[in-house]
Amino acid sequence: MTDIAETPDTVASRKTAAVSKCDLCGHEEQHALAAPSPARCRIVMCGHCGLFYASPSLAPDLLDKFYDEEFEGDAGTNKRLKGGGIEPRKVNIEERIARTWAMPLIQSHVDVRGKSVLDVRCRSGSLAAALTEAGAQVTAIDPLEPNVRYAEKRNVIGDVRFIPIENFERMDVFEDAQFDVITALSIHLLSHSPSPNRLLHRLRALLKPGGYLFLDEKDVFHPVRATGETVFDSGPAHFFHFTTDSMRNYFEACGLEILECGIDPKRKKSTRHIRSVVRRPANASNGSGTRPQACDRDKVIAALEQAEHKLMRNNGFNKFMKSARRTARKIWN
């Protein structure tokens, strides 16, 4: 692992904020893993618990501007569709994933009929609509206005709300213990959050005792296709890069009971996905969990190097496929 020098406080000319402590365990020891580039912030590993995170990260006061001008992950983002609207092809993908993957997963743990459900980062509202059809009382929230407008136009979801990025971790419009179920399965939520610790504690507080939380995140140890030079090149909006171990650590630190946390057999895009089903314990009132244990650093680094090798193999394969297709076109044309 090469040592990467401290970098000035700009990432591809973006304003950044120093991150002095690990969000998960609070330790200050950081080991640099990747220098900043347009495809990522500078990435470090926590010297104690092994969490991968951006340091410095995008400045929090830049987030709204970033999602407005640069982010293109969602069907209605400005960069994707100039002048408003929403991209039907992307919505169709969300509909399919909601109905064939997310709903069966949710229903395998809880019957949502009559339950109060909060769908976080609802995007086009595909999952919120499917949950409503299954008999749930759904509140859907999103920080991107085109998503909120589109989800509202469906006229089936009981409550669709815009919550600005800066208020996303507080969610103070809701009351504690208001929801039976919280879903965040339409997009990876935690890696975009400046503090998964604060966000998970808030989601836990919003759940009734015994309530369920469903999450879908990307696994940085399992790249599927190359999107850049390193496994961290998934865009500067990713404050965190998770593994099943770091997800488990977070749940335990936030006092959430783990029912499922592992590689999903079906979901994969640029990486395999980690699907998690956790629960607010039925008879624990306070939000304290266990302190994250020290990780085996050599093991974490070895797994990271393996992931980088896999990425390079995939990268080589993709390049090979591209040139093969070009050759095939020449032959057949």
**DSSP one-letter code for 174:** S
**DSSP one-letter code for 166:** G
Shortest distance, position 49 Cβ to Zn ion, whole Å: 3
**Contact set for Zn ion, span 134-153 (CB under 5 A):** none
Could you say whether residue 110 binds Zn ion (CB under 5 A)?
A: no
CB 9 within 8 A of CB 56: yes
In sequence order, what E strands does the chain have? 10-11, 14-17, 30-34, 43-46, 52-54, 57-58, 116-120, 137-142, 159-162, 179-184, 207-223, 240-241, 257-268, 271-279
Could you say whether residue 22 binds Zn ion (CB under 5 A)?
A: yes
Q: Which is nearer to Zn ion, 49 or 130 (CB)?
A: 49
Could you say whether residue 51 binds Zn ion (CB under 5 A)?
A: yes
Specify the stretch interacting with Zn ion by CB under 5 A; choose among 34-42, 47-55, 188-196, 198-206.
Answer: 47-55
Q: Which is nearer to Zn ion, 299 or 309 (CB)?
A: 299
Could you say whether residue 45 binds Zn ion (CB under 5 A)?
A: no
CB 121 within 8 A of CB 189: yes
Q: Which is nearer to Zn ion, 46 or 220 (CB)?
A: 46
Q: Which is nearer to Zn ion, 55 or 186 (CB)?
A: 55
| Residue type (1 letter), 233 | D
Shortest distance, position 129 Cβ to Zn ion, whole Å: 38
Euclidean distance between CA atoms 170 and 156, whole angstroms:
26
Euclidean distance between CA atoms 108 and 147, whole angstroms:
28
Q: How far is CA 15 from CA 53, 73, 168, 233, 291, in A?
A: 17, 21, 21, 18, 32
* Phi, psi dihedral angles at 164 (to 5 degrees): -65, 155
Q: Which is nearer to Zn ion, 22 or 122 (CB)?
A: 22
Could you say whether residue 33 binds Zn ion (CB under 5 A)?
A: no
Q: Which is nearer to Zn ion, 47 or 281 (CB)?
A: 47
Residues 6+ apart with CB under 8 A from 178: 116, 118, 206, 208
Could you say whether residue 203 binds Zn ion (CB under 5 A)?
A: no
Q: Which is nearer to Zn ion, 132 or 246 (CB)?
A: 246
Could you say whether residue 102 binds Zn ion (CB under 5 A)?
A: no
Specify the stretch interacting with Zn ion by CB under 5 A; choose among 48-56, 76-84, 274-282, 298-306.
Answer: 48-56
Structure tokens at 271: 């990486």
Could you say whether residue 46 binds Zn ion (CB under 5 A)?
A: yes
Could you say whether residue 49 binds Zn ion (CB under 5 A)?
A: yes
Structure tokens at 3: 């040592």
CB 157 within 8 A of CB 130: no
Shortest distance, position 110 Cβ to Zn ion, whole Å: 32
Q: Which is nearer to Zn ion, 173 or 294 (CB)?
A: 294
Among 24, 41, 44, 157, binds Zn ion (CB under 5 A): 24
Among 11, 16, 19, 25, binds Zn ion (CB under 5 A): 25
- Judged by the rule CB under 5 A, the positions of this chain that interact with Zn ion are 22, 24-25, 46, 48-49, 51
